[in-house]
Amino acid sequence: MASLITLESIKTMSDRIRDGDLSPLELVEACLERINKFDSSLDAFITILEERARIDAKIAEKQIKEGIYIGPLHGIPFSIKDVICAEGVKCTAGSKIMSDYISKIDATSVAKMKKAGAILIGTNNTHEFACGITNVNPHYGSSRNPWNASKLSGGSSGGSAVSVAVGMVPASLATDTSGSIRVPSSLCGVVGLKPTYGRVSKYGIVDLAPSLDHVGCITRSAWDAAAVLQIIAGRDPLDPNTENKKVPEYVKIVEGEETSNKRISVGIPEEYFFDYLQPDVERTFLEFIDTIKSMDISVFDVHIREVDKIYESWRPLRLGESAEIHLKWLQTRSEDYGEDVRRMLMKGTEVSAVDYIRAHKFRKELRNEFVRLLKNFDVLIVPTTPITAPGFDEQAVDIGGQTLQIYQALSRQTIVFDSTGLPAISIPVGFSKENMPIGAQIIGPPFKEEKILSLAYAYERVNGSLMKFTPPL
């Protein structure tokens, strides 16, 4: 069962590659074996770069044999959400409109991964133009949840989450505008990291809503997320939104924090995030908090003001900016959009300048409120989604007598950390009675990703998360 190595953490893979116990080509072949076995039923990939990946693996193998070992991503396969550009590779954005577009550039994040010796193996299925949270895609098939193929993977980075959960690839670069990394990570039982806005370059991605778009990663372990962030973070002259802040040595910090949990203080907001939770989600989250407390970590209830502004700090930005980006195609090729995406983009054309300006004002007030709280606590913790993965035919969900549309339910807990730009990681913490994964979000102060990664890594070691969250395919 050579392909089972792909279900291990990048830490295990990279140690074996460095020691000569595993070759990059063996690892690439193991990933391709998983893709060939499972992708036809799960629709996680749009483009698979079999021959290119084999060539790159042979190059990495030769370098390592010659004593040129670059670091923990050397020889490690990765994929990219199909809104992230790679030179010479088709970038469809999950759409009919861009179905024949071949990129002439590498996105900065992709270029950095390649420079670190990582091997691009393909592009992942996404909700069309990343403009949705279900990953139902009329053009390329809908990625399916590997825990139950009759249920949604979540989106818009659904293909990325599915491919990592199944061990088709150890890591995937993805984007998050409304929760698009964290939501599918929660529903599929993997780790999804959205860094601080400005920490990772967005150069070379297909924009959705530029003031909300983030580039991050999906992995099976918090250690792996730290290793990927270590590489892709940093100032980029090609993206004026990136901040010129020193990139910490995340892997060293995460490993060094294992025995120092007593210094971590956790705040749990009492408002908003617990208003609508399925009973299984609430039960699992409380069990997660009990585990955190058993690790000698201090946990406190906290109060958040301004929560009434969460939705209106996000909606006009998300809808208005998306509509502006797509305006020309809406006017000339509207019939080529999927119905749900066209409808959402048309809603964006109705956003007023007043609403847009107010949204920017609200997001600053909300950010200030969260930053104020995070001066007293290292991190905040909330459930990632109020529900587990819904079925493909579900349009709405009833929680405690309140009906929520599926988009509203899945993105409810995540949108505020896009509009405030704070770093957030979703980690798997348990299962529903139907054996569907449930995630929790850890949120940190701006540019303090090491805090959320350290707690996530400490928890997953106590919980034995890695193999526990392997889908029973």
Give the list of residues 6+ apart from residue 451 with CB closer than 8 angstroms, or none: 264, 378, 379, 444, 445
Name the catalytic one among 14, 81, 142, 451. 81
Question: Tokens 């707690």 belong to which residue?
Answer: 455
Name the catalytic one among 23, 79, 156, 454. 156
Q: What is the residue-wise DSSP string for 115-157?
A: HTT-EEEEEE--SGGG--SS---TTT---B-TT-TTBB--SSS
Sign of CA dihedral 22, 26, 27, 28: positive
Number of H helices, E strands in the chain: 16, 13
Structure tokens, 272? 């908003």
Residue 11 bears catalytic tag: no
Name the catalytic one among 163, 180, 221, 426. 180
Per DSSP, 335 falls in state G
Inter-residue contact 158 to 42 (CB < 8 Å): no
Residue 81 bears catalytic tag: yes
Structure tokens, 443? 């949120």
Question: Rg of the chain's alpha carbons, rounded to an integer?
Answer: 20
Inter-residue contact 42 to 252 (CB < 8 Å): no
Residue 322 bears catalytic tag: no
Burial class (CB in 10 A: 0-12, 13-18, 19+), 440: buried
Structure tokens, 239? 């993206």
- Segment holding 392, helix H or strand E: none
Give the list of residues 6+ apart from residue 130 with CB closer than 8 angstroms, or none: 81, 83, 93, 94, 155, 156, 157, 175, 177, 180, 206, 208
Give the list of residues 6+ apart from residue 267 with CB closer than 8 angstroms, or none: 299, 300, 301, 302, 373, 374, 376, 377, 379, 380, 381
Catalytic annotation, residues = 81, 156, 180
